[in-house]
């Protein structure tokens, strides 16, 4: 399994370039869009990929700026690190923090979250798309 099996404290850097993280974010967004069109796909699983898309895009920004970050799914915590690194976070991207609960809780049966509605999926898709576009612009400008 390679480096991913190491404990976080043993790992110096996450694998991949910022551009690769953007590609993975775009792939998660695509999976979410496909799932959103299919009633057989659980809304929680769609929202998981929405959250992953935003999280990976933000981590791409952090990597592009050489900012270390913890291995967490808390988007608000990651955005705080972005701000501390001197990167401006637009309001549309700041809203990505509301996607954090989809990282774990929404994926499993018996989820404590209220029912996920189609409007939640549409809003999440918009937030993830804006986050990826923002991150892509920053990564493209990185030295």
pLDDT in tens, 1-12: 344 444 455 455
CA dist 25 to 29, 40, 135, Å?
6, 23, 10
Domains of the chain from N-terminus onward: 17-141 (1.20.120.330)
CA atoms within 13 A of residue 121's CA, in its CB half-sphere? 23
Contacts of 104 (CB under 8 A, 6+ apart): 73
Q: pLDDT value at position 5?
A: 42
For the whole model, what pTM was predicted?
0.87
pLDDT in tens, 91-140: 999 999 999 999 987 766 766 566 888 999 999 999 999 999 999 999 99
Q: How far apart are CA 37 and CA 25, in angstroms?
A: 19
Structure tokens at 42: 């659980």
């Amino acid at each position: 399994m390679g480096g991913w099996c190491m404990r976080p404290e043993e790992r110096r850097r996450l694998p991949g370039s910022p551009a690769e993280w953007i590609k993975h974010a775009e792939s998660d967004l695509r999976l979410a869009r496909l799932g959103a069109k299919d009633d057989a796909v659980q809304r929680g699983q769609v929202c998981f990929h929405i959250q992953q898309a935003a999280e990976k895009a933000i981590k791409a920004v952090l990597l592009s700026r050489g900012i270390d970050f913890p291995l967490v799914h808390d988007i608000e915590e990651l955005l705080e690190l972005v701000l501390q690194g001197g990167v401006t976070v637009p309001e549309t991207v700041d809203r990505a923090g509301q996607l954090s609960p989809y990282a774990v809780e929404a994926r499993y049966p018996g989820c404590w979250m209220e029912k996920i509605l189609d409007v939640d999926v549409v809003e999440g898709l918009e937030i993830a798309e804006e986050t990826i576009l923002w991150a892509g612009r920053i990564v493209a400008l990185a030295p």
